[in-house]
Amino acid sequence: MRVTTAWAMSITGANRLKFNEAVAAGHYQCAPETAERTMRDFDFEDLIGLTVFARMMKLGLSKRVAADMACRTVGYVRNNGQDLQRVILALADDGSVWGGPYYGEGKDNGRPYIDPNSPQAAASIQVNIPQIKKFIIERCQSLVKQHGDENGNIRAMFPEGWEKNL
């Protein structure tokens, strides 16, 4: 599954202007590549990151911090597969972001990679990966149902059974 920037923004609720500003400033380093006069194509993992970015912006975090948290989440999702339950992200006193994966019971004993209670952490956030996946799938299904007959591109982006492979 790959979607255009416009669809990615609709699915995740991200603000396109804030996203573009974060990319232009070099903060959103995991943005899908694009060449001159071509659109970005977002895959499912990119949508997870964009959802995190949108939520962090709504919490009032800066574009730099929101983008850093989004990209860390994308990296953990891409590298840790289906066992990943949460990503724990912390904002240190100096403004830097750090984090780590958290697996379900039986994988890494259910312990986080980082200690979210560390005195170095000014704040920590847990990103619930299965819940974000569910949100994205439901939002995609809703948009397909709402716009499916209007636009032939929708069927190309969301072929029959697309959600079964996620």
Asked if the structure places residue 16 within a domain, the reply is yes
What pLDDT score does 111 carry? 53
Asked if the structure places residue 101 within a domain, the reply is yes
φ, ψ dihedrals at 160, nearest 5°: -50, 130
Question: What value does the mean pLDDT take over residues 6-29?
Answer: 96
pLDDT digits (tens, 9 = 90+) for 78-102: 988 777 888 888 887 778 888 888 7
Asked if the structure places residue 160 within a domain, the reply is no
Asked if the structure places residue 166 within a domain, the reply is no
Asked if the structure places residue 111 within a domain, the reply is yes
pLDDT digits (tens, 9 = 90+) for 30-80: 999 987 777 889 999 999 999 999 999 999 999 999 999 999 999 999 988
Average pLDDT, the chain: 83
Domain count, the chain: 1
- Containing domain of residue 7, as a range? 3-150
Asked if the structure places residue 25 within a domain, the reply is yes
Six-digit token pair at 17? 């202007």
What pLDDT score does 102 carry? 77
What pLDDT score does 160 carry? 66
What Cα–Cα distance (Å) separates residue 95 from each residue in 12, 126, 145?
Answer: 26, 17, 42
Of the candidates 76, 62, 79, the residue with the CA atom closest to the CA atom of residue 28:
62
Question: What value does the mean pLDDT take over residues 15-26?
Answer: 97
Given a cut of 80, is residue 109 above it in pLDDT?
no
Six-digit token pair at 93? 């006193």
Asked if the structure places residue 8 within a domain, the reply is yes
pLDDT digits (tens, 9 = 90+) for 116-157: 556 655 567 889 999 999 999 899 888 878 876 565 566 666
Asked if the structure places residue 38 within a domain, the reply is yes
Work out the angle at residue 67's Cα, subtended by the Cα atoms of residues 162 and 1, and round it to the nearest 5 degrees: 10
- Element (DSSP H or E) covering residue 143: helix 129-147
